Amino acid sequence: MFPLQRNRRLRTNESIRSLVRETSLSPQDFMLPMFVAEGKDVKVAIPSMPGIYRHSLDNTIKEVKEAWDLGIKAVNIYVKVSDSLKDNKGVEAWNKDGLMQQTIRAIKDAVPEMIVMPDVALDPYSIYGHDGIIENGQLINDATVDALTRMSLSHAEAGADFVAPSDMMDGRVLAIRKALEENGHHNVGIMSYSAKYASAFYGPFRDALDSAPVDSQNIPKDKKTYQMDYANRIEGIREALLDVEEGADIVMVKPGMAYLDIVREVKNAVHVPVAVYQVSGEYAMVKAAAEKGWLDHDKIMIEQLYCIKRAGASIISTYFAKEAAVILNK
């Protein structure tokens, strides 16, 4: 009771504020999403994501080394697949000499201690831009799971530390875990996109990979039959619990800032690390507002990352990783 308790005593100066601060943030909390393209010495800007590029493999390795030197310990890999390699079944996804598999091997050769988590989903390989196989105008769950399992095995054989299924098919974590065990990949982990919502925040990402659903009357126009309804909370918790039961080592909530209530709920429900993806639209909004002079870019960036960590994130996948690491290292 006041005046016996004066809460402002603990806010008097930065020294006391830092001493009692409840949440800490460091570059080791970050995972850097990276876009890889075919070719050599390629660096293609993504207009809707200022400062982010599609890099060829040689430049990707330079980026990985720079990230490691900044203290970032994990990368999340996505590939831009040539249209000529796309089909409805995603066969290129498990090509042992495909761009993703080459990238995994190259990163592990260049920076062996960097944790490599390749994306597992068919949308970059699909002629329809969907995360699975389309039949009779519907996305087929079980056939897609079989394809994702083959994809995951190819990533493990290339040297991935974790596979990261982002597709939201039912039962895929269990199928992938069984396949990894049966093929001797006991130490390859699974970071499951467990509570992945059907969000409009993903727009710039689809520009980056040219992976938006094709506009056609014969296929679903969006991803709402497999990604989650953003009106739901309990469903996200249920998905995370099921993925842990099926063998997920890490569960993810995606997007980030608008879903911090889900992050906290999932954190309270599971006993594995929780990852959060601060997605492309969240990144683009900060960049756009800062360019207008409406927000202080660096202060907003760090504040948002602290808020995600405070909500319960053990890992933050963020396009701000390198910029934030530079500030935090100072």
Active-site amino acid positions: 196, 254
Query: Collapsing DSSP states into helix, strand and coil, what is residue 195?
Result: strand
Query: Collapsing DSSP states into helix, strand and coil, what is residue 102?
Result: helix
Residue 226 phi, psi dihedral angles, 5° rounding: -130, -35
Contact indicator for 245, 190 with CB cutoff of 8 Å: no
Tell which residue, 55, 54, 68, 164, has the closest CA to residue 110: 68
For residue 83, the Cα-to-chain-centroid distance in whole angstroms is 23
Q: What share of the chain is helix, strand, coil (3-state, %, to 5)?
A: 45, 20, 35
Strand partners, 178: none
Contact indicator for 101, 154 with CB cutoff of 8 Å: yes
Taking only Cα atoms into account, the Rg of the chain, rounded to an integer number of angstroms, comes to 20
**Per the structure block, which two tokens stand in for 258?**
């608008």
From first CA to last CA, the distance across the chain in angstroms is 39
Contact indicator for 139, 130 with CB cutoff of 8 Å: yes
How many residues does this entry show for the chain?
330
